[in-house]
Amino acid sequence: MTANITLYFLQTSRAIRTAWLLEELGVPYNIEFSSRVNMKAPPEFIERSGNPLGRFPSIKDGDLCLYESGAIAEYLCEKYDTTHRLYPAQQPLRSRAQIWLHAAEATFLLHSMAIFYARGNFPPALKETNPDALAQMVKGMSVNVQRDLDWLEAELAKSSGPFILGAQVTIADTMMEFSIDMIMLYRLGIDGGGPWPRIEAWLQACHASDTYKRAVEKTGYSPSFSTPAPPSDGKHASML
């Protein structure tokens, strides 16, 4: 297969979705890796990626520059998933895959990142005058997150295999894994909810898959902001 793909991979970001999908597709790709600086993407990395919003993942495929992990996933599957293994062509599976492709950002991360940002941006003065205010806000916002997780738990109960749509990894898993990992790792709205044993088992199945492990190994991905950058930090390109 001919492909000239470069994945701009910001550490601890949704870029792991794209790396995992590319490993599933078996398409060769170059990795341009960057650590975060003060938690952010460095300006020179943004410039190089060609993404005007400065967010990651971002890819180039020949002359095409593409961003938004969901749009990238659809593009890559439409072009390289010729057997429709990762993004089913037939209904109702097509629509089921699309539900998760969009819910990963527009439901799960919308609700959970609200908590992440509230924690990070809560005014210190307010903390002093009303020490319970943040906890009250988070409790209110947690209702949405827990409802989302209950839904995923119920849908996983209907799956015929360890992954969202059955026995095989699909675009649904490659999009949802990052969202759920963030929610669980940073305990974004989960306190007082659950248990979600099927979600835990599904997350383990994702992390145990050879393609996910390869994506992590090749990119040096760390799901946690507190883990140091990999040794090959900086401008790091490898043909895979």
* Tally of CA atoms within 13 A in the half-sphere of 86 that contains its CB: 24
H/E stretch holding 67 reads strand 64-67
Q: Is 56 in the site for ligand GSH (CB under 6 A)?
A: yes
Q: Quick one: 9 or 162, whose CB is closer to ligand GSH? A: 9
Both structure tokens of 178: 């990052």
Q: Is 80 in the site for ligand GSH (CB under 6 A)?
A: no
Q: Is 40 in the site for ligand GSH (CB under 6 A)?
A: yes
Inter-residue contact 72 to 30 (CB < 8 Å): no
Inter-residue contact 34 to 10 (CB < 8 Å): yes
Inter-residue contact 177 to 105 (CB < 8 Å): no
CA 113 vs CA 53, 182, 190: distances in Å: 18, 9, 12
Q: Which of 25-33, 49-57, 119-127, 151-159 is the region at the interface with ligand GSH (rule: CB under 6 A)?
A: 49-57
Residue 59 CB, shortest distance to ligand GSH, in Å, is 10
Distance from C-alpha of 35 to C-alpha of 20, rounded to nearest angstrom: 19
Among 5, 7, 10, 77, binds ligand GSH (CB under 6 A): 10
Query: 123 in helix, strand or coil?
Result: coil
Among 14, 60, 111, 218, binds ligand GSH (CB under 6 A): 14
| Residue 63 CB neighbour total at 10 angstroms | 6
x-marked contacts with ligand GSH along 206-225 as a string, rule CB under 6 A = --------------------
Q: Is 41 in the site for ligand GSH (CB under 6 A)?
A: yes
Q: Quick one: 40 or 94, whose CB is closer to ligand GSH? A: 40
Residue 112 CB, shortest distance to ligand GSH, in Å, is 12
Among 23, 32, 105, 173, binds ligand GSH (CB under 6 A): 105
Q: Is 60 in the site for ligand GSH (CB under 6 A)?
A: no
* Tally of CA atoms within 13 A in the half-sphere of 61 that contains its CB: 14
Q: Which of 51-59, 92-100, 193-201, 219-227 is the region at the interface with ligand GSH (rule: CB under 6 A)?
A: 51-59
Which positions lie near ligand GSH, rule CB under 6 A?
10, 13-14, 40-41, 54-57, 68-70, 105
